[in-house]
A and B are shown apart, each in its own frame.
Chain A
Amino acid sequence: MSAAAPKATTSVDRYRSLFDARPLPDNALTQWRRAAFERFAAIGLPTQREEDWKYTNLRRLESRQFTPATPAPVATDESRWIANAGARIVLANGHALASLSTVSPQPPGVTLLTLGQWIANSPEQVAEFLQKQRRDASSFELLNAAFLEDGVVIDLADGARFDQPIYVIHQMGPGNGMSHPRIFVRCGRNSACTLVEHYIGAADSETLTNSVVSLDLAQGAKVAHYRLQQESSRSFHIGTVHAHLDRDSRYACRDIALGATLARTHITATLAGPGAEATLQGLFAPSGTQHLDTYTLVDHAAPHTLSNEEYRGVADGRGRGVYRGKVIVRKDAQKIDSRQSSRNLLLSPTAEIDTRPELEIYANDVKCSHGATTGQLDSTALFYLRSRGLSEDEARGLLIRAFAESILSTIELEPLRQHLEQQLNERFASSEARA
């Protein structure tokens, strides 16, 4: 306690000097940012004493000095982008680059603009909108609010459909910049869209990405959300996702974490209306000294809601994978069906997996189950493949890919799936050479 307290103040101080150094106009938005910063300063960065951060030590992050990333064009690495993934929006170091974005004329009822544009046009309106948002709770959300500059706003009117996926590239680096992008998705009744977020970092950059995505699904809306995290191997990634689901809406999130030295994703899905359904699927594959942490919270706040969750982890080298999945069933939220599974593979004697599937249930007419396993590759399956002439490496690679396949196969976007398959093939082929 006594050791952690002064450390936290120093990192808060560092952020404060960055905050104070920013030239901000005197308006409602600035007030909102300042209030958020003060709340952040009061609580500081989380420590391992907090249950939510039990397995993730932020010392590595705290000791780093980041500079607010500039809107200056960065060395974009277009070869790493997913081709034909949809209407492209590039956030370079957290700032939208119109020159690289390919947003075609939008169908009626669809509003797609960058947060930066909106702030430039009507900061009062943005401030008013932000005030009405769910109050940010965590340190990192508050930090994001304080340093908020740019992001994406997607607004769908009732019945509107965005026929293409919206492909947001978060391109970071080089250098040690930090970016705090925010994405708002508001879906009217029976509207539908697909959001792909791709986090890419330039090699050797030591950046911090602290993104917040909030999705609001009205009755009958449908959102498919893909998160592909491929930050540079020395960078930090904190991602917060809040999805609020009204009656009969559907939210599906596929969360793939491959990059960053330390990454934490926090996904909350609140099922607020009967018939709402949330599907959370994810894959995290720490290797080297990576630390990949995922925390999902499914909150069944209304009766007759459905959730399905499957996370898989593959830890190699000295990598550490952390998964915590919490399911809450509120009082009187009867007729709930909830399933959750966490399966993990340990490939090296120095890797570690910590998993916590949790159920918190306050209603009785529910069907909730969870399962978790951690183990190594099945030796009989390996033997089978070896006996058919595959080399040890090939056999292992094949089995690991098969393990990951159950998450990959749920990805309906063909270009994204192909991109991922290629990434994973490379990843696991190289990991085998080391192992």
Chain B
Amino acid sequence: MSSNPQTDPALEALVGQKYRHGFVTDIESDTVPPGLDEDVIRLISRKKSEPEFMLEWRLKSFRHWLTMREPHWAHLRVAPIDYQGISYYSAPKSKANAPKSIEEVDPKLLETYDKLGIPLHERARLAGVAVDAVFDSVSVATTFKERLAKAGVIFCSFSEAVRNHPELIERYLGSVVAYTDNFFATLNSAVFSDGSFVYVPKGVRCPMELSTYFRINAANTGQFERTLIVADEGSYVSYLEGCTAPMRDENQLHAAVVELVALDNAQIKYSTVQNWYPGDEQGRGGIYNFVTKRGECRGANSKISWTQVETGSAITWKYPSCILTGENSVGEFYSVAVTNNYQQADTGTKMIHIGRNTRSTIVSKGISAGHAQNSYRGLVKILPSATNARNFTQCDSLLMGDQCGAHTFPYMEVRTPTASVEHEATTSKIGDDQLFYCLSRGISEEDAVNMIVNGFCKAVFKELPMEFAVEAQNLLAVSLEGAVG
């Protein structure tokens, strides 16, 4: 700040804006004491009345996890995490009889959603969005079940799916992200609390956008979500995920796993707006977000598209990936990652080309402000079997302020001569000439920066579903207010 003496006090005030969604709802949580051993896993499994194969799988994962070490290759500085200091299960207490409709939901929960502007009972219907809200670890409400059921789409909480559709879970769980995959995914496999499950049957186009709002509430409970989406032959589904979290002093661990499976001619569109608590302006607190997201285009002509807008979390470690197994399958990754203050992000994607004529597109926009560090890390791997594979990668970084960092670490491994792989990256700040142009036309600096940044991210925003695109633009403006370099 000292290097920029003419900083407007009004801008300072905006930068210093407190996290808007920072509050805690006081609900008695049914929380397991901190610590992790096989008994805790058995307890989680029992509490969720899971079948035997799930417990086996959890224990197998846990035993493997004990042999693994935390990864440290990312361009991140992570304070040591005490895995025994985390409580691995927390469920809202008033769950004696699980609510079957919105009216049965604890009014205090609904109040929380209201404060956040999540329109569970009204706007959801108006917007035609089915919301499977995850409050801490147990799903408390699900809407639009009937309409989806009529189309044959299964959209429910993970626990429910384990109870009602064990054959699907057994078949697909861990088939994309194996329980041995990586430290955080393995931990998740052992202790995951809940999440969402989607199955779209053959030839069905899901009649509405599906969405889940993840929230973290009770103190010291890491969240371990597990999402599994299966799109059967010829089906289509668009899934939206968005998160906000209450303010916390201590770092909270979030290690989610998302698995997508697209069979022949199926399409999955997965969009995320991530706005976990990023910590205060001194870098205290904030969520640790270590997420494993991976989709497999198992069938021919299938397509998986990831779109993400990452503005929150103290630390983001996230690489939504596509395994392009099926012939002619397509993988896409569109990302905007914004870091401010002391946030750190190491995010990107992996595109593994296995099938013939597979194509992938990567568009990544990183914005770094304050003292933040923002890295793009991406792998494009073309195996010998992937003849005529194509990849195009564009990753641009925008630097705002002279204390931040922007980094690009692309990996390209090409093993077939008929493949064509292109990568392009640029790093720069907002052009003085661009700013001057706007200012000379009477546009305030704040608006000009907003406009330029939104233009910079446009290629990604246009991939978002309508409602999210608006939300994302607002989020970006709030995250970067006053961060003019």
**Chain A residues within CB distance 8 Å of chain B:** 51, 55, 331-332, 334, 344, 346-376
Cβ of B411 within 8 Å of any chain A Cβ, yes or no, is: yes
For B407, B415, B417, B418, the residue with the greatest tally of chain A CB atoms inside 10 Å of its CB is B417
The 8 closest A-B pairs by CB, nearest first: A364-B399, A346-B417, A375-B420, A372-B423, A359-B408, A374-B414, A368-B427, A369-B426
Other 10 A-B pairs with CB < 8 A, given A51-B73, A356-B411, A362-B404: A331-B403, A351-B417, A354-B414, A359-B406, A359-B407, A361-B397, A363-B402, A369-B424, A371-B423, A376-B417
Cβ of B409 within 8 Å of any chain A Cβ, yes or no, is: yes
Cβ of B207 within 8 Å of any chain A Cβ, yes or no, is: no
Question: Which of chain B's residues have a CB closer than 8 A to the CB of A334?
Answer: 402
**Complex: how many Å from CA A350 to CA B416?**
7
**Complex: how many Å from CA A369 to CA B427?**
6
- Chain B interface bracket (under 10, 10 to 19, 20 to 34, 35 or more): 35 or more
Q: Is the CB of B414 within 8 A of A352?
A: yes
**Complex: how many Å from CA A368 to CA B424?**
11
Cβ of B413 within 8 Å of any chain A Cβ, yes or no, is: yes
**How many Å from the CB of A108 to the closest CB on chain B?**
46
Question: Which of chain B's residues have a CB closer than 8 A to the CB of A344?
Answer: 414
From 365 to 406 in chain B, residues with beta carbon under 8 angstroms from any chain A beta carbon are 384, 397, 399-406
**Complex: how many Å from CA A229 to CA B434?**
47
What residue of chain B has the Cβ atom nearest to residue A1's Cβ?
A: B69
- Checking B384, B407, B409, B425 against A371 with a beta-carbon cut-off of 8 angstroms, the contacting residue is B425
**Complex: how many Å from CA A368 to CA B407?**
11
What residue of chain A has the Cβ atom nearest to residue B427's Cβ?
A: A368
For B73, B406, B420, B426, the residue with the greatest tally of chain A CB atoms inside 10 Å of its CB is B406
Cβ of B109 within 8 Å of any chain A Cβ, yes or no, is: no
- Checking B402, B405, B409, B419 against A365 with a beta-carbon cut-off of 8 angstroms, the contacting residue is B402
**How many Å from the CB of A307 to the closest CB on chain B?**
13
Q: Is the CB of A374 within 8 A of B399?
A: no
Q: Is the CB of A361 within 8 A of B410?
A: no
From 408 to 448 in chain B, residues with beta carbon under 8 angstroms from any chain A beta carbon are 408-429
- Checking B406, B421, B427 against A374 with a beta-carbon cut-off of 8 angstroms, the contacting residue is B421
Q: Can you name 25 A-B residue pairings with CB atoms under 8 Å?
A: A332-B402, A334-B402, A346-B417, A346-B419, A349-B417, A357-B410, A357-B425, A360-B407, A361-B406, A361-B427, A366-B399, A367-B428, A368-B426, A368-B427, A368-B428, A369-B427, A370-B408, A370-B423, A371-B422, A371-B425, A373-B421, A373-B422, A373-B423, A374-B414, A375-B421
> Do A354 and B429 contact each other (CB < 8 Å), given the known contacts A346-B417, A349-B384, A374-B420?
no
Question: Which of chain A's residues have a CB closer than 8 A to the CB of B405?
Answer: 360-362
Q: Is the CB of A364 within 8 A of B412?
A: no
**Complex: how many Å from CA A432 to CA B425?**
34
Q: Is the CB of B414 within 8 A of A371?
A: no
**How many Å from the CB of B391 to the closest CB on chain A?**
9
Question: Which of chain A's residues have a CB closer than 8 A to the CB of B73?
Answer: 51
Q: Is the CB of B427 within 8 A of A359?
A: yes
Cβ of B465 within 8 Å of any chain A Cβ, yes or no, is: no
What residue of chain B has the Cβ atom nearest to residue A375's Cβ?
A: B420
**Complex: how many Å from CA A354 to CA B411?**
7
What residue of chain B has the Cβ atom nearest to residue A340's Cβ?
A: B425
